[in-house]
Every structure is written in structure tokens, then in C-alpha cells.
């Protein structure tokens, strides 16, 4: 199971994220990002939302994925708590996500950046360092 640690950054927020495989990395990155943004505040889940993305590479796909989740967070005022991937390759993603109402807000992330972003894979899985513009 994936995990993350917050990394000190001079002006923005940053996480280092690990996952056993690509699905685990993308799901863990979402959980980590929302741990910085807000606490879940309500009972029950909202309606499922479908996310389908295509990108040139895995780094762009990861940034697009997290920015799409931020968009849903802002528009629907939810914390994404359920992610079910139907398809995930290094250039394509199809998933269904569900959220719960926002409780306490912790930080305002404007966007996920490409700053120093490289997704690497090895015998222990995948990892990436993410920087969030606040």
C-alpha cells in the first residue's frame, strides 16, 4: 500500500509519494494531496464522477489527474475519498471517483505543478515528488 510524506518547500506545499504500482501511486497521490487540502466533514458519499484523461507521458497524466480532482473539489465542495480505476497506463486514465462534503479547510492549492516532477519505477514500485502551487 502506498504512502506519502510532506516535504519542506520554501513557498509551496510538496509531497513525496510511493506506490506499489501505478494505480497505487495515483491513488496515494490523491489521498496525500487531499490530506493537505481539507478534512472530510460529512457522512455519506456524493454521486460518482467519471474521469477520463489522455496525456503524452506519465508525469503529465499524474498532474492532469490531480488537477482534475482539485477542480471537482472546488466546484462540488468535496474531498475525494473513493477512487476506482477502470484503466490506467502511463498515458491514459479512466476512473470513477466519489467524494464526501468538505469539513475543515487546511490549505488552498491552486494547481499541481511540473516543478522537478519525475515518476520513477523500480523493484519496490513507483515514486514521485509533487509540488503544489498555493
Q: What's the CATH number where 123 sits?
A: 3.55.10.10
Handedness of CA 89, 94, 99, 105 (dihedral sign): positive
- Residue 22's contacts (CB-CB under 8 Å, 6 or more residues apart) are 58, 88, 89, 90, 126
Asked whether the beta carbons of 13 and 113 are under 8 A apart, the reply is: no
Q: Per the structure block, which three cell numbers stand in for 75? A: 466546484
For residue 66, what are the domain limits? 3-133
Task: Say whether pTM exceeds 0.85.
Answer: yes
How many domains are there within the chain? Answer: 1
Note the pLDDT tens digit of each residue in 34-91: 999 998 887 788 899 999 999 999 999 999 999 999 999 999 999 999 999 999 999 9
Amino acid at each position: 500500500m502506498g504512502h506519502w510524506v510532506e516535504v519542506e518547500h520554501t513557498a509551496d506545499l510538496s509531497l513525496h509519494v510511493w506506490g506499489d504500482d501505478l494505480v497505487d501511486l495515483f491513488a496515494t497521490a490523491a489521498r496525500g494531496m487531499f490530506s493537505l487540502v481539507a478534512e472530510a466533514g460529512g457522512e455519506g458519499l456524493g454521486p460518482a464522477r467519471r474521469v477520463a484523461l489522455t496525456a503524452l507521458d506519465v508525469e503529465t497524466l499524474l498532474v492532469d489527474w490531480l488537477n482534475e480532482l482539485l477542480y471537482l473539489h472546488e466546484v462540488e465542495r468535496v474531498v475525494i475519498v473513493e477512487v476506482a480505476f477502470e484503466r490506467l497506463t502511463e498515458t491514459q486514465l479512466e476512473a470513477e471517483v466519489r467524494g464526501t462534503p468538505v469539513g475543515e479547510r487546511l490549505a488552498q492549492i491552486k494547481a499541481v505543478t511540473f516543478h522537478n516532477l519525475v515518476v520513477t519505477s523500480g523493484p519496490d514500485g513507483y515514486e514521485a515528488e509533487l509540488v503544489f502551487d498555493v
